[in-house]
Chain A
Amino acid sequence: MNQATYTISLDELNGGWLERIKRQFRSSGKDARVRISLTVLDAPGNEKSTPLSDRFEAMFRQWKSETALLSSGTAIVTHPAYQEIIQLGEEVLPFILIKLREDPSHLFYALYLITGENPVPKEHVGKLPLMTADWLAWGEKQGYLPS
Chain B
Amino acid sequence: MKKQYLTLPAFPNSQIEPLEITSPDTGNYNCIAWALEETDSNYWAQPADIFDWKPDVPREETLVSFVQLFQTVGYEICEKDDLERGFQKVALFAKDRLPTHAARQLPGGEWTSKLGILEDVRHSLFAISGGLYGEVAVILKKKRNKKA
Contacts and interface: CB of A to CB of B under 8 A. Distances in A.
Interface size class of chain A, counting residues whose CB lies under 8 Å from the partner chain: 20 to 34
A81 interface: no
Contacts of A120: 49
A9 B110 CA distance: 51
Contacts of A70: 100, 116, 132
Nearest to B26: A128
B105 interface: no
Given A67-B116, A126-B41, A128-B42, A72 B47 contact: no
A66 B84 CA distance: 37
4 closest Cβ contacts across the A-B interface?
A126-B52, A73-B44, A71-B30, A126-B41
Interface in A63-78: 64, 67-74, 77
Interface in A47-102: 64, 67-74, 77
Contacts of B8: 69
Contact of B42 (A27, A68, A126): A126
Interface string A18-53: 000000000100000000000000000000000000
- Most chain A C-beta atoms within 10 Å of own C-beta, residue among B32, B47, B52: B47
Interface size class of chain B, counting residues whose CB lies under 8 Å from the partner chain: 20 to 34
Given A71-B44, A72-B99, A74-B46, A127 B52 contact: yes
Contacts of B52: 125-127
A27 B58 CA distance: 14
7 contacts: A67-B116, A69-B10, A109-B50, A112-B49, A125-B48, A125-B49, A127-B42
Contacts of A64: 117
